[in-house]
Structure 1
Amino acid sequence: MALPGTTHPKRMADVQLTLPARAENVAVVRHALGGLGEALELDPQILSDVKLAVTEACTNVVVHAYGEADGPMEVAASVDGPVLRVTVRDEGIGILPRPDSPGLGLGLPLIATLTESLELGRATDDRTEVAMVFRLERDGGRA
């Protein structure tokens, strides 16, 4: 069972990718979501927010999940009525503070600002999940 708000395990995602957690694959994910956004004719600002938030989540996997080891990065995106749900998963060490981190720790707060909702945690299969929900239509200026 997935975290609340994530793609239901029995429902096929509109986009589903499993790639090695490497920097070059963040661009592949970004491009795939751009294609989905164009197919859905998303407002350019909403699409920009989706791509930026998912890029941040995928970059966290690349930088933090596996250390020097290799591992998978999974991305699933599904349209559910007026919302787009995107989940980024990995099998790494989880979301832990790292004093040796090269970043300033701004990725998750940025994702939270860009999304309608954000959930972080471990799935029942012990994979780390970052589940994001984006509103597909603007209401009063905010997606």
Structure 2
Amino acid sequence: MAQYDYIEIKIPAKAQYVGVARLMISGIASRLGFTYDDIEDLKIASSEAITNAVQHAYGADDEGEIVVGCALYEDRLEIMIADHGASFDFEETKKHIGPYSDASEARFLREGGLGLYLMETLMDEVKFHHEEGVTVFMTKYLGGERGEEDVKRSANS
């Protein structure tokens, strides 16, 4: 198993704290050496995941929290966004909002669909776990998508 550092914060499930998590992720990504464009991608995808949790995980009267965790590896950043609110069936939701044949279709997506589309588009890997709440795992590889080095090696052979 690869060595990594792990950083975690818990924020109230309120919209005004999304920016706090974005700043943390931006700082970590910058420290790891991600490009400006990759940092922007990380911030957008993370914001979408956190905003989904803020809007859908807890009722109006619930006092919930969202956990934002970052695992820092040599070659990637793994981000976990977790809540303990109401869960949803990702595969069922995905059936109703995708697939997307081109970017022009994105503007016609139902509410919530664009966030899932952005997460999957901007990150190299996205996984969802839903039981007691929803946990989103997103991975961004440093210097390009996973497998890109294998493609370069094959092209040079």
- Could you tell me which amino acid in structure 2 is paired with residue 31 of structure 1? L
Does residue 111 in structure 1 map to residue 141 in structure 2?
Answer: no
- Could you tell me which amino acid in structure 1 is paired with residue 115 of structure 2? G
Q: Structure 2: how far apart are the matches of 1:89 and 1:107?
A: 16
Task: Write the deviation string for residues 116-142 of structure 1: whole angstroms up to 9, x where unpaired.
Answer: 11111226xx342000010111367xx
Give the CA deviation at 1:76: 0.3
Q: Report runs of 4+ in structure 1 exceeding 6 Å deviation.
A: none
- Stretches of structure 2 that go unaligned for 5 or more consecutive residues are 94-109, 149-157
Residues 95 and 114 of structure 1, relative CA distance in 2, 3 Å threshold: same
Give the CA deviation at 1:104: 4.7
TM-score by length of 1: 0.78
Structure 1 or 2: more helix by fraction:
2
2:51 corresponds in structure 1 to 59
Query: Percentage identity across aligned positions?
Result: 28
Q: Structure 2: how far apart are the matches of 1:94 and 1:119?
A: 14
Of 26, 40, 51, which aligns to 2:32?
Answer: 40
In the TM superposition, 1:54-133 aligns within 5 A as 54-68=46-60, 69-95=62-88, 103-122=111-130, 126-133=132-139
RMSD over aligned CA atoms reads: 2.0
Aligned residues: 123
**More contact order relative to length (CA 8 Å, sep ≥ 6):** 1
- Stretches of structure 1 that go unaligned for 5 or more consecutive residues are 1-10
Residues 138 and 87 of structure 1, relative CA distance in 2, 3 Å threshold: same
Select the structure of larger CA radius of gyration.
2
